[in-house]
Amino acid sequence: MRRIVFPLILGLGGIAILMSLGFWQLRRLEWKETMLADIAARIDAAPVTLADVAAPDRDRDLYLPVTLTGHTTGQEALVLSGQKNVGAGYEVIAVFETDGGRRILLDRGFIREEARATPRPPVDLNVTGNLHWPQDADAYTPPPDPATGLWFARDVAAMSATLGTEPLMVVIRTAEGAAQGIEPRPVDTSGIVNDHLEYAITWFSLAGVWAGMTLYLLWRIRRRTI
């Protein structure tokens, strides 16, 4: 009996730890799904006019749907990007001047690599989109390339300082006016990682393996083969 006490304690302890990690991931999954549902509801809410948002705040207004009318100025920043089944390209961040005189950043969407040099002169647009403060950059993101003018992340603060706009970005959902070959990429929740179910399955599977190994070890001890 003494020979099985320590392996039994070790086995039960390992199973308990692995199962607790699995249940923790299930709780995280519930939290993440609630958060994603809340974000989706905010994205799809009824839009307000941008003029009603005098002092946008990221914590309060992230994903807020807005409408705005005005024109692009011809100034823009190209952010190195890509699209599934298409390949490399660029996100077009244009300077947009509203009818009320505000200058903001407008994420117009994606262009393919070959469209980079295509002229995109000022154009009138009626836009419905979402306020966004992307957090694309991290410690490893290089600064804009001065030789090519390319950006490697949508950095609202840096882009607004460079292009002379408010530190405010609207991502187009729909727009009336000349698209100029740009494909809108609306804000959605698809880019928010939600791997908690896979992690939970992994932990529960490891608990099952641990339990099997424990039973096998106890069986060998009872048969006095160890």
pLDDT tens digits along 92-133: 999 999 999 999 999 999 999 999 999 999 999 999 999 999
- Closest listed residue to residue 103, CA positions, set 170, 183, 175: 170
∠ CA 166-160-164, rounded to 5°? 75
pLDDT at 224 over 80: no
Q: What is the 3-state secondary structure (H, E, C) of 46-70?
A: CCEEHHHCCCCCHHHHCCCEEEEEE
Contact by Cβ (8 Å): 182, 106: no
Nearest Cα to Cα of residue 70 among 18, 22, 106: 106
State whether residue 193 is helix, strand or coil.
Answer: coil
Give the pLDDT confidence score for residue 76 in this predicted structure. 95
Tell me, what's the pLDDT at 226? 57
The pLDDT assigned to 7 comes to 83
Q: What is the mean pLDDT of residues 176-191?
A: 93
Q: Taking Cα atoms as reference points, which of 162, 1, 2, 182 lies closest to residue 81? A: 182
Q: How sure is the predictor about 198, in pLDDT bands with cuts at 50, 70 and 90?
A: very high
pLDDT, averaged across the chain: 92
Per-residue pLDDT band at 79 (split at 50, 70, 90): very high
pLDDT of residue 1: 63
15-19, 117-121, 145-149, 152-156: range with lowest mean pLDDT: 145-149
What's the average model confidence in pLDDT over 22-46? 95
β-bridge mates for residue 131, sequence order: 170
Mean local confidence (pLDDT), 59-76: 95
> What pLDDT score does 225 carry?
62
Q: b/e for 186-198, b at 16 or more Cβ within 10 A?
A: ebeeeeeeeebee
pLDDT band with cut points at 50, 70 and 90 for residue 54: confident
Lowest mean pLDDT among 110-114, 173-177, 189-193: 189-193
- What pLDDT, on the 0 to 100 scale, is given for residue 140? 87
